[in-house]
């Protein structure tokens, strides 16, 4: 069983700040700017590229690949498969965010095909998205979950067993399922759900942590802890969702060992 400490999270965050790993994100129009800013504030180096013609070269300079299916088109889907194959050849970690899986046949099928073709190291989504990857009758409310994260743990275990990926389910409690069991994280604030793209940001941060942490489940759990702690710090300084987004970026940039030690809520079960 893997027990994650505040020191472990701080060490990983320091490694990101020292190494500035390039995180190649094929992500959606809605979140490109906010996701890139979050990665920069964390200490990573974001690149947002989706043209098929440059996929292999761009993956060639990256330390992690994040694939987010939020705004799909056939050309972007082809680029995703090309990038995933290039990442597999280079043995760099792949994070898949199946945004809105369960909402339409196209995006559910695309997410499933990506997992089959090039299994990622981390799959991160909300409960409905994770459930839709294995269950045909699961529906999402647009890109929002219709189920609690608790309800998706059993499916998450099955998805981990079938794909080999660490499965991270975000919600009031964040669950990360890996080889060593289930890691529960309880940081964050409900107002974070009022800011578009913070789930996508969580997936991008998973990529940054996976670039410096060898165990994908540990990387994802540490990324979610940092997300949640930064969200709590931001909420304390905010008057609403708009100012929360501003303070969230600042909190990522200023996050300290003391903040993590005081605030982290993380535990592991078999």
Over the stretch 161-185, which tens digit does the pLDDT of each residue have? 999 999 999 999 999 999 989 999 9
Average pLDDT along the chain: 94
Tell me which long-range contacts 47-53 makes (C-beta under 8 A, separation of at least 24).
47/22, 47/23, 49/24, 50/26, 50/75, 50/76, 50/79, 51/79, 52/78, 52/79, 52/82
Strands (E), the chain: 22-26, 45-47, 64-68, 94-97, 122-126, 166-170, 174-178, 181-185, 266-269
Between residues 269 and 55, which one has the greater pLDDT? Answer: 55
Residue 4 has pLDDT above 50, yes or no: yes
pLDDT at 136: 65
Per-residue confidence band for 3, with pLDDT thresholds at 50, 70 and 90: confident
CA dist., res. 245 & res. 232, Å (int)? 11
For the stretch 8-58, pLDDT in tens is 999 999 999 999 999 999 999 999 999 999 999 999 999 999 999 999 999
The residue-averaged pLDDT of 209-221 equals 98
For the stretch 102-150, pLDDT in tens is 999 999 999 999 999 999 999 999 999 999 999 866 555 444 445 678 8
pLDDT at 35: 97
pLDDT at 142: 47
CATH number of the domain at 6-269, please?
Answer: 3.40.1190.20
């Amino acid at each position: 069983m893997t027990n994650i400490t505040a020191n472990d999270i701080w060490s990983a965050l320091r490694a990101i700040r020292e190494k500035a790993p390039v995180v190649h994100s094929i992500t959606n129009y809605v979140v490109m700017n906010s996701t890139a800013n979050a990665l920069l504030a964390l200490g990573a180096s974001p690149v947002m590229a989706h043209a098929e013609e440059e996929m292999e070269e761009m993956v060639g300079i990256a330390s992690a690949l994040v694939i987010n299916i939020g705004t799909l088109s056939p050309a972007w889907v082809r680029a995703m498969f090309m990038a995933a194959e290039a990442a597999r050849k280079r043995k760099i970690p792949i994070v898949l965010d199946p945004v809105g899986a369960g909402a339409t046949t196209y995006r559910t099928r695309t997410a499933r095909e990506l997992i089959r073709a090039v299994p990622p190291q981390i799959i991160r989504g909300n409960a409905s998205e994770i459930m839709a990857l294995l269950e045909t009758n699961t529906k999402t409310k647009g890109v929002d979950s219709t189920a609690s994260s608790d309800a998706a743990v059993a499916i998450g275990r099955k998805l981990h067993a079938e794909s080999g990926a660490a499965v991270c389910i975000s919600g009031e409690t964040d669950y990360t399922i890996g080889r060593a069991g289930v890691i529960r994280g309880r940081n964050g604030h409900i107002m974070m759900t009022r800011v578009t793209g913070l789930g996508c940001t969580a997936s991008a941060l998973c990529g940054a942590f996976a670039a410096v942490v060898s165990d994908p489940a540990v990387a994802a759990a540490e990324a979610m802890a940092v997300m949640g702690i930064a969200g709590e710090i931001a909420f304390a300084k905010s008057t609403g969702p708009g100012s929360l987004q501003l303070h969230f970026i600042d909190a990522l940039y200023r996050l300290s060992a003391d903040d993590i030690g005081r605030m982290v809520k993380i535990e592991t079960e078999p």
